[in-house]
Amino acid sequence: MKLFYNPAFTGSAYVDFKKSPVFFDSKIVNTAGLCNVIRLHAGICSDVADYGTRFVHYYAAMKKYMAKNPKSVMAASFKVDQLNTAKKCLEWRDTLAADGWTKAAPAPTERMKTLCGIEEYFTDKSDGEALLELITQVEDGCPLPQMEIIVSEYYEDFAPAEVRLLKTLIERGVNFTAVKADLPDNNIGKVYSILEGKKGVELDPADDSFEIWNFAERDEAIKYLSLLDADNFDVWINAENKEFDNWQKLEGKRLSGSEISGIPHTAQLLNIALTIFERPLNVKNIVEWLNTSPNPLAPGFRKGLASCICDTGGFYNDSCREYIANYIKEYPKSEDSIQKFIPDINHPYFEESELEVSEIKEFIKNLRDWCYKEMSNKHNTDPGKDQLGFVAAQAENLLNLLDNLETQTIPYDDIAQITAAFTTDHSMTQYTAQAGSKKVITSYSDFCDVAEKTVWCDFYNCGNSPRLTYSFLVPAEAQAFKEVLPLWPQEHERDYLKNLLLIPFAKTRKKLVLVTIDKIDSANAPKSPVYIQLEKYDIAPFIKQMTLDDSLKKTVKKIDNRMESEQEFVQISKNDYIKEKWPDHQSSSNLEKVIPWPLDYVVNNFARFSSNAVDCLADLYTTEGNIAHRIIEILFAPTKEVKGSGTPSYIKKQIEERFEEVFQQIVQAEGAILLIKENRQELKQFKIQVKSALEELLKGIFAKELHVVACEKKLEDKVEKLKVNGKVDMILADPENNFYIFDFKWSSTYKHANKLRENKSVQFALYKELVEKEYKVTVKAVAYFIISEARFISCQNFLSDGINLQQVYVSSERKAKKLLKELQNTYEYRKEQIFDGSIEETSDFVAGSFGYDQIYEEQELFPTDYYYDSDLKADCKKGPYPDENIDLLKSRK
């Protein structure tokens, strides 16, 4: 058996199958692979625990040591950050142990004394120690397979343990070949010599075997290279091949194989799941958890509950309880998973509190068991399925760590810190390589054979020297260990790293292209140290400025179905769906949309685009307005069961006795975004603001001796020819049975004062008619109450002095206008347009630019300034809409 060995091999090395079409008796191995071959034939089992398990055990050992040695030099660091301190100590310990360090080794510093002390409680061996064990077993004469090991000539610069293993195998009679670099007689060989430090080497300007392709931007380089054919080069070096493959897929070329590196979404499943334990519940976290896939909860349930949370603004409310109960009633088997994987909806938390460790452990066990079940499910074809093993291992390690904490409760921040310590980079396959594709290797060291032509796609991003293995040792430690341990000499390690970097030069014969770039996005690209070294020579003749020239581009027919910039109408031929679903009654809010922005109204009500993602949660400003409305409704609304409810004295008592309870209840149920940590200060200020507004509102009610007749009163009737409905925020009456209407707003005074001034308040015009018809009374006054400013705004000066009332006077130009008639006419005009399939696009309305300008006075429609009022328009979605949205609307039947 032939073993091509290099410690730096990553598992995807280049092999020239033209030269070696049969490779069954050969293997390409790194150190772990070489050890596995030897162990397999020798019948040796070496059990090294995974990193997570070893970390938990080392943390437990360090915790025991610190308990007995509170004055240790590492005690202060351990107290501040236990997990990351243990992580770093384990890293040092494993590095030293790979060269034979034990607790009996010299301890020249207090730090080393601490590491030696921790060893008393830690018994897990590392990969480095397993290698040393194997070397001893080989030295003792364990059976070896018939093999030939082929390495590079610089093998003596490998790590000491690796060199020792090779020499032991040679002494045991294993065939061994150290291959010397066979440099070509062209510029590639000359560049290699320059980088080796040879003097007097001159490059041949007429030789094109060595070139540097320079691109302006990284994206341009990736696009250009992906457009090339597979046979342009034998080897393509590219560490991060994800974007390269994405472009190849778009271009219809064969994929080279790529991975998603870092921490793929599925691998974060445990981290995301544990965020639902934050107290108070972070509403964004539970929505993210419900949108995470794969997930132990059913997709339909997750989508529905996430939508319910986004619609209501919270989790702990009756709507969510009803949704969960109805879902369980329809799907009884889902009850178990719902109980296991969402918080108890009947036990909300308004303040921060520690978590019960037993509850967290139970949750982690349930998630781990689900991962194992899904991994064994043959019907599950989710591409992230393979990552569930990683999640299950994380869960096991976290359970072990929680057992070692020896505490009944734990702060949420500690859980977040623990999961972060366990989170390591992990990769998953994005695309597998296809036959006939470009041969991509992810490391410049992955050459098994010599290549004719090589392109180094990410040359600009490599060559930065990594930190040397023993750079963490202080001089006193390094000197003491050199006397007893075979540490890797720094000059040998530097030579090894340099030789790895030169492999593409040593393994390429006819053409080597290095790719450099000027920019990555807007930042200057890094410059490889190799390139800096080459700049000392006259390399300008070998640098080619590359661009995406026309020869690489393909012309495709452009499909442009956008509206013309000056087009007034969107034409819809199939509008039966709109006619069928058109509501019998319109609310004031709908009228205030369909009249000025008919396209917005149609798209929002009939195309029905929806989402249940985190970004669908109402923003803080909107939430505060909704919460204030609900608190007023609960504390001010009269009830038939309580005599005198709705009177000022009763309301005052309600505020004094129930405000705290109601505020917490409503914020938890419908304004959970206020409970997020970064909004806690805003919550305190909001609470003071609402309390102050309630007192000012009550003051106005007292001043006029009013009593509340109804809050959020639903009314429905015919106004003129228009069927309307609505919910009136507050209806009041005085001792003479004159009625008043209050409408609560959170936004600025100017916007609503301007509506009254211009006689454009559709809402009040309709509410006044509805209330008078419902109660057979006269409405004496209507007023906006701006909650955020604790201010009344009205055209009638109906409140006494001392009340914060801003009286607004209707402009003389609009005073004589009949608002209801304008409303009726404009609504009919819009409805007729929509039913005819012509929807006016008014998002960029400019006075004088539309045909509407010519007819509105004659037909008694709303004036054109209703369409471009800056404050009114700010609340509405602006077009133009994406083509696919309009297409969907057109396709409705």
SS (H, E, C) 650-678: HHHHHHHHHHHHHHHHHHHHHCHHHHCHH
- Domain total in the chain: 5
Domain membership of residue 658 (yes or no) is no
Statement to judge: residues 603 and 518 lie in one domain: no
Q: What are phi and psi of 575, to 5 degrees?
A: -120, 20
Q: How much is the pLDDT for 879?
A: 45
CB 345 within 8 A of CB 316: yes
CB 233 within 8 A of CB 256: no
Calpha distance 826→291 (Å, rounded): 42
* Pair 487, 609 in one domain: no
What stretches of 96-190 adopt beta strand conformation (E)?
A: 148-152, 175-179
Please enumerate in sequence order all residues whose Cβ is within 8 A of that of 823, keeping only pairs 6 or more positions apart, or say none. Answer: 591, 595, 720, 722, 762, 765, 766, 862
Q: DSSP label at 396?
A: H
């938390």: which residue's tokens?
Answer: 349
Containing H/E element for 779? strand 779-786
CB of 179 within 8 A of CB of 150?
A: yes
The predicted pLDDT at position 870 comes to 44
- Which helix (H) or strand (E) is 518 found in, with range? strand 508-520
640 part of a folded domain? no
pLDDT tens-digit profile of 721-743?
889 999 999 999 999 999 999 99
Contact 280, 317 (CB under 8 A): no
With beta carbons less than 8 A apart as the criterion, state whether 728 and 637 touch.
no
Residue 671 lies in a domain: no
Same domain, yes or no: 857 and 772: yes
One domain, residues 616 and 476: no
My answer on whether 705 and 803 are in the same domain is yes
Q: How far apart are CA 388 and CA 392, in angstroms?
A: 6
Residue 272 placed within a domain = yes
- DSSP per position, 787-804: TTTTEEEESS--S-TTS-
For residue 604, what pLDDT is reported?
A: 84
Does residue 677 sit within a domain? no
The pLDDT of residue 129 = 97
Closest by CA position to 873, among listed 597, 622, 566: 597
Tell me: do 329 and 426 sit in the same domain. yes
Boundary of a domain, candidates 124, 145, 160: 124
R_g of the chain computed on alpha carbons:
37
For residue 445, give the CATH number of its domain: 3.40.50.300
Residue type, position 438, single letter: K
CA-based nearest residue to 546, from 219, 241, 247, 242: 219
- Does the pTM exceed 0.85? no
Q: How far is CA 497 from CA 33, 142, 454, 469, in A?
A: 20, 32, 20, 12
Q: Is-contact 513 221, C-beta < 8 A?
A: no
Q: Which domain does 738 fall in, by range?
A: 569-620+697-893
Strands (E), 521-592: 523-524, 543-545, 569-571, 586-587
Do 503 and 591 sit in the same domain of this protein? Answer: no
Instruction: Output the pLDDT for position 544.
Output: 94
Arithmetic mean of pLDDT over the chain: 89
pLDDT for position 872: 42
Residue 873 confidence (pLDDT): 41
Q: Give the number of other CB atoms < 10 A from CB of residue 588.
A: 22
Series of mean pLDDT values for 10-residue runs along the chain (893 residues): 93 83 83 95 91 92 95 94 94 96 94 96 96 96 94 95 97 94 93 90 92 93 92 93 89 86 75 93 94 92 95 95 97 96 94 93 96 81 72 91 88 87 70 89 93 94 79 95 94 94 95 93 84 86 88 68 65 85 91 86 80 82 94 95 92 96 96 93 95 96 94 92 93 96 91 90 93 95 95 91 90 84 91 88 64 81 66 43 49 47
Largest separation between any pair of C-alpha atoms in the chain: 115
Residues 602 and 723 in one domain: yes
Same domain, 299 and 396: yes
The answer as to whether 637 is a domain residue is no
Q: Rounded to the nearest 5°, which phi and psi values hold at 178?
A: -105, 115
Q: 615 and 750 share a domain?
A: yes
* 271 shares a domain with 253: no
Residue 575 is encoded by which pair of tokens?
A: 């509008």
Establish if 666 belongs to a structural domain: no
Which residues make beta-bridge pairs with 792? 785, 805
The Cα 411–Cα 360 span in angstroms is 11
> How far apart are alpha carbons 396 and 380 in whole angstroms?
23
The answer on 379 and 497 residing in a single domain is no
pLDDT score, position 887:
52
Which amino acid does the sequence have at 506? A
Residue 646 lies in a domain: no
Give the residue from 407, 430, 453 where a domain finishes.
Answer: 430
Whole-angstrom distance, CA of residue 691 vs CA of residue 655: 8
**Residues with Cβ < 8 Å from 486, sequence gap 6 or more?**
99, 100, 160, 161, 164
Question: Using H for helix, E for strand and C for coil, what is the string for 693-707?
Answer: HHHHHHHHHHHCCCE
What are 224-242's pLDDT values in tens digits?
Answer: 999 999 999 999 999 888 8
